[in-house]
Amino acid sequence: MQFLSLIRRGFSQKSNEIERDKGLNISKLSKRFCMLDTRDGMNVLFIIVDDLRPVLGCYGDKLVKSPNIDQLASQSMVFSNAYAQQALCAPSRVSFLTGRRPDTTRLYDFYSYWRVHAGNYSTMPQYFKENGYVTLSVGKVFHPGVSSNYSDDYPYSWSIPPFHPSAEKHENDKTCRGKDGKLHANLVCPVNVTEMPEGTLPDIQSTEEAIHLLNVMKTIRQKFFLAVGYHKPHIPLRYPQEFLKLYPLENITLAPDPWVPKRLPSVAYNPWMDIRQRDDVEALNVSFPYGALPDDFQRQIRQSYYAAVSYLDVQIGLLLSALDDAGLSNNTIVVFTADHGWSLGEHGEWAKYSNFDVATRVPLMFYVPGMTTSPVSQGARVFPYLDPFSHIGGSVPQGQSNKVVELVSLFPTLAELAGLQVPPACPEMSFGVVLCTEGRSIVHYFNISEGEVGEGKEGCDDTDRCFNEEPVAFSQYPRPADTPQWNSDKPKLKDIRIMGYSMRTIDYRYTLWVQFDPNNFSAHFEDVHAGELYVMENDPNQDYNIYNNTSHGWFFKKLLGFLKH
């Protein structure tokens, strides 16, 4: 394929051309970290994807072509019910990178830096750095801008300045060729890579840089924590046009529930304003806020989302194959996850910006040599590259758990897997505590034999006790008003008036929309604006809200108890 030959040629050129001016080349790193073999623990490769819901073969999706991610899953512990703490990039990333929830980072938008506005909290990469690791950031790890101090939290979190692909600045340019032959800033944007500014795309550059850094770390023999953040399938859905061939439009269906549910509180609806502002969507002149996109265009969006996922899968395949090539697969933990999901027409919604599963549920898997798979012999290939255009067949996860888990638990979980001391649990008030976590390590869920699926609930015959002990995930989302507004999706802190606190168990999703005061960050649970309750067994897509038909004292007590602790 033209795309694959291009990027392989790019890698070859890259190996001959790279000489960094920010301390990234081998000679500078060698001097900086003394060329000593200090790897008495596992390395970490932490892969974060933007806006990826679990549309992957290893999660049971029958349409998607994701052979490389599925291959990683076949050697990993895979969590089927993992949830983000807020379905927005900056709050979610700051939350799981600090191990604190949004109410503790006090970040619900993009416009504050937690070290200044909340507390000087240590981050996961900072903790690894302080424990002897070289910490490296490639692509979108922290959300860039104010929320990471315009530096991706360097130098606190990273040993050297983070790398951002130069092509990133063109993401929202008019690079999408329309039917009229002109260039537009479209939502649906398959492209000829050779025609793009710089002749490449950001994720291709990030893969190149990450592979380069793996080879540097192999040479200097230092244990490392390498975080690699991929942009796609974040909008615009801009990806190499070849990937459309994997998904003929006639094979693409609409969402199973492409309507706005009758009992959905208006405060819960997100009007997908960023989608409306794209040239191709704007031309459709869809009414605000509940107007539906034409069916054929809905299919095109879903087609392009899937194509972007397969483009991402190629990047993952090349990166993991390079881990093999560097001889690092036998002593490197690989974590794969996303900052949140993305609605593909469910509930008449697009994008994220909600508390539904489609917006909060994420893929989460851990490859741990000798733990999730048998010890790997030196030089053995664990992750041979698989071409999604020719590969046939799927992979079964090595281990799979249906336990409900949260991204805020990543920090303590990775610390435990790497053999570091697990940060202590945060006290009730932790704004002045530098190192603690509001998540809990989930390593104890790894003890499942091959092919076995861990159940979501413990065996228990006492209803009250079971409810109090079963795993729960908490998410939240702010709104400026009870009805959809132009800023409902991304309200600034000063405009937040309502906070939707949502609790997900294996059986239920319970959400309360309550009065919120942005001046003192307080939620008033005596002032409930609306509620949602969905029963997973009968309503897995969360279409039939039974909040007003059911007693929900248990849920209220559980939610309130969590917020107080």
Active-site residue list: 89, 143
Closest C-alpha among 322, 323, 348 to residue 262: 348
3-class SS shares of the chain: helix, strand, coil, % to 5: 35, 20, 45
* Cβ contact 385:71 at 8 Å: no
* Cβ contact 397:75 at 8 Å: no
Rounded Cα–Cα distance for residues 328 and 375 (Å)? 12
Q: Which residues of 476-500 are buried (b: 16+ CB within 10 A; e: fewer)?
A: bbbbbbeebbebbbbbebebbbbbb
Rounded Cα–Cα distance for residues 325 and 323 (Å)? 5
Phi-psi region of 547 (alpha: psi -120 to 50; beta: other; left: phi over 0): alpha
Q: What is the 3-state secondary structure (H, E, C) of 482-525?
A: CCCCCCCCCCCHHHCCEEEEEEECCCEEEEEEEEEECCCCEEEE
Rounded Cα–Cα distance for residues 254 and 22 (Å)? 47
Greatest CA separation for the chain: 68
CA 205, 127, 324: angle at the middle one, nearest 5? 45
Q: What is the 3-state secondary structure (H, E, C) of 154-171?
A: CCCCCCCCCECCHHHHHC
Q: Which residue has the tokens 């281990």?
A: 399
Closest C-alpha among 187, 192, 181 to residue 298: 187
Rounded Cα–Cα distance for residues 367 and 446 (Å)? 11
Rounded Cα–Cα distance for residues 120 and 133 (Å)? 21
Q: Which residue has the tokens 């944007």?
A: 189
Indicate the residue type of 508.
Y
**SS3 for 224?**
strand
Q: What is the 3-state secondary structure (H, E, C) of 124-135?
A: HHHHHHHCCCEE
Helical pair 89-98 and 410-417, crossing angle rounded to 10 deg: 40
